[in-house]
Amino acid sequence: MKIRFGYELIYSTVQSTPMVLMLRAAPGPTQRVVVPDIMQTTPDVAVVPFRDAFGNVGTRLEASPGTIRISADGLLEDPGVPEPALFSARETPIAALPHEALPYLLPSRYCESDLLAPEALRLFGHLSPGWSRVQAICDFVNQYVTFGYQFARHTKTALETYRERCGVCRDLAHLAITFCRAMSIPARYATGYLGDIGVPPVDAPMDFAGCMEVFLEGAWHTFDPRNNARRIGRLMIARGRDAADVAISTAFGTACLQLFRVWTDEIDELQAAAMQARHRSVAGRAHQAA
């Protein structure tokens, strides 16, 4: 299966504004980026890639006063099957966890697992440990929290989501992560592309999708409290303790978002071949110019 993915963001600034962007695709083991999502800017500014403390590839740039357009258009080869599920996966005892999983047991900016621990124990403490308990957490969050873009608030925490019973995908993910951590299950926030492949199309603007990854049976597994289903074609971008670590853009100054557009669409072989040909042509011209 071929999936075209990308974004177009337009910001306006009144002065030179350093920005950090977390937008580089991070394909899974069964996926392959055929046409890379190379970041383009108009006007042209220097873009500097870097790797953060969580292993994500980010980009630094400095936007000049005025308007800047930031975009990328990539092509993914995906097996076209739902995300795997390991229903027999067991929870790993804390003493046996790898060192890198330990930070995902702790409270963080948006995930107050210490404050929600009593509720987590009440709701899920009696359940069998392992995959089924994590799925029960996702079932609860999916049914308990009403989804709606009108409920978005960038400061909303898991505790506030639990009290208000409404939110967007990042809020549902934060609440499920918080419950997992309160049950001593490492859980981290993940963001990426998720198109309507294999499901009825949704009458809403395409956006990046927040979900969570949980450490069970020696590996990280994807869970999606918002959709609560194994999906086809999910393409990760970044992972962290919560959404604060993987914001798509962070501006060190005033940067007003003028346009936000994301796409993730299955395309046929002819369309994919045309994309690859355009990419080779552009790459060839760039090589000659160099």
- Give tens-digit pLDDT for 32-42: 999 999 999 99
Residues 150, 224 within the same domain: yes
Residues 159, 67 within the same domain: no
User: What's the whole-number mean pLDDT along residues 150-175?
Assistant: 97
> Is the per-residue pLDDT at 201 higher than 90?
no
Residues 256, 156 within the same domain: no
In a domain, 15, yes or no: yes
In a domain, 239, yes or no: no
> Is the per-residue pLDDT at 250 higher than 70?
yes
In a domain, 119, yes or no: yes
Residues 156, 41 within the same domain: no
What's the CATH code of the domain at 260?
2.60.40.2250
Higher-scoring residue by pLDDT: 202, 169: 169
Residues 123, 222 within the same domain: yes
Mean of all residue pLDDT scores within the chain: 95
What confidence score (pLDDT) does residue 203 get? 72
Residues 67, 99 within the same domain: no
Helix spans in the chain (H): 113-124, 131-144, 158-164, 169-182, 269-289
> Is the per-residue pLDDT at 290 higher than 70?
no
In a domain, 240, yes or no: no
- Which residues, other chains included, contact 72 with Cβ-Cβ below 8 Å and sequence gap of 6+? 6, 7, 23, 37, 38, 39, 40
User: What's the whole-number mean pLDDT along residues 251-259?
Assistant: 95
Residues 138, 205 within the same domain: yes
Residues 107, 13 within the same domain: no
Number of domains in the chain: 2
- Whether residue 214 contacts residue 91, with contact meaning beta carbons closer than 8 Å, is answered with no
Higher-scoring residue by pLDDT: 284, 246: 246
Count, residues in the chain? 290
| Residue 284's pLDDT band (cuts 50, 70, 90) | confident
What's the CATH code of the domain at 214?
3.10.620.30
What confidence score (pLDDT) does residue 206 get? 78
- The domain of 9 spans 2-80+247-289
- Which residues, other chains included, contact 156 with Cβ-Cβ below 8 Å and sequence gap of 6+? 110, 164, 167, 171
* Domain limit, last residue, from 232, 261, 276: 232
Residues 30, 142 within the same domain: no
> Is the per-residue pLDDT at 289 higher than 70?
no
CA distance 201 to 149: 17
Q: In sequence order, what are the beta bridge partners of 50?
A: 58
- Hey, what long-range contacts does 223-226 have (CB within 8 A, 24 or more apart)? 223/134, 223/135, 223/138, 223/176, 224/138, 225/137, 225/138, 225/141, 225/142, 225/145, 225/169, 225/172, 225/173, 225/175, 225/176, 226/142, 226/147, 226/168, 226/169, 226/172, 226/173
Residues 104, 218 within the same domain: yes
In a domain, 106, yes or no: yes
Residues 29, 104 within the same domain: no
> Is the per-residue pLDDT at 282 higher than 90?
no
Residues 137, 41 within the same domain: no
